[in-house]
């Protein structure tokens, strides 16, 4: 076999593998994207949301899709969508993600925030802060919960050392 044939064969294998892997990824993500689209449609129908800008998944006592966006006059709105309910909060009347991050910054040093997103803990609509801190024996991950409306601290869940 000459080098030209080997190069063509390798290129064919790489392209074929790329096509197969991209189709596999798209098939896996299809359901996630469909769930997000359905949550946005539900938020449009059952709330004052008219423009969605972001959709996040929250898994607590029950799963929620949290849709962030705007109402018809451009006011920021957050909508929690589950199989059982649709709940809406105006961002202007609530604690913001930036304020939650400020609270975490004042908490001390050494915390590395992984994500901040709205959720629901028990009966409270909350900001969930997932973060980690290096401790002597390893890295520990935490979940802090703050009331969505006013930023009142609710609870911290501490995971085992990694």
Domains and CATH numbers, the chain: 3-92 (3.10.450.40), 97-158 (3.10.450.40)
Q: Report the alpha-carbon distance of residue 135 to residue 137 in Å, rounded.
A: 6
Residue given tokens 């109402």 in the structure block: 71
- Identify any residues that bridge with 157 across adjacent strands, giving them in sequence order: 143
pLDDT in tens, 90-144: 988 999 999 999 998 888 778 899 999 999 999 999 999 999 988 878 888 999 9
pLDDT at 153: 94
Strands (DSSP E) contained in 1-159 are 51-59, 63-70, 76-81, 86-90, 111-121, 124-135, 138-147, 153-158
pLDDT at 111: 86
Helix (H, G, I), strand (E, B) or coil at 4: helix
pLDDT in tens, 67-90: 999 999 999 999 999 999 999 999
pLDDT over 70 (residue 162) = no
Q: What is the pTM of this model?
A: 0.79
Torsion of CA 13, 16, 17, 21, to 10 degrees: 180
Residue given tokens 């909060």 in the structure block: 89
């Amino acid at each position: 076999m000459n080098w030209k044939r080997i190069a063509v064969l390798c290129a064919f294998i790489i392209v074929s593998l790329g096509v197969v892997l991209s189709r596999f990824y798209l098939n896996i993500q299809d359901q996630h994207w469909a769930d997000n689209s359905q949550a946005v449609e539900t938020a449009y129908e059952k709330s004052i949301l008219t423009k969605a800008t972001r959709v996040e998944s929250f898994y607590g006592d029950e799963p929620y899709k949290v849709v962030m966006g705007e109402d018809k006059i451009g006011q920021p709105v957050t909508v929690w969508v589950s199989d059982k309910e649709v709940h809406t909060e105006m961002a202007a009347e609530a604690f913001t993600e930036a304020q939650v991050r400020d609270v975490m910054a004042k908490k001390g040093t050494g915390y590395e925030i992984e994500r901040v997103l709205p959720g629901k803990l028990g009966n409270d609509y909350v900001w969930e802060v997932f973060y980690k801190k290096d401790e002597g024996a390893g890295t520990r991950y935490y979940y802090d919960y703050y009331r969505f409306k006013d930023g009142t601290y609710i609870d911290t869940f501490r995971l085992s050392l990694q």
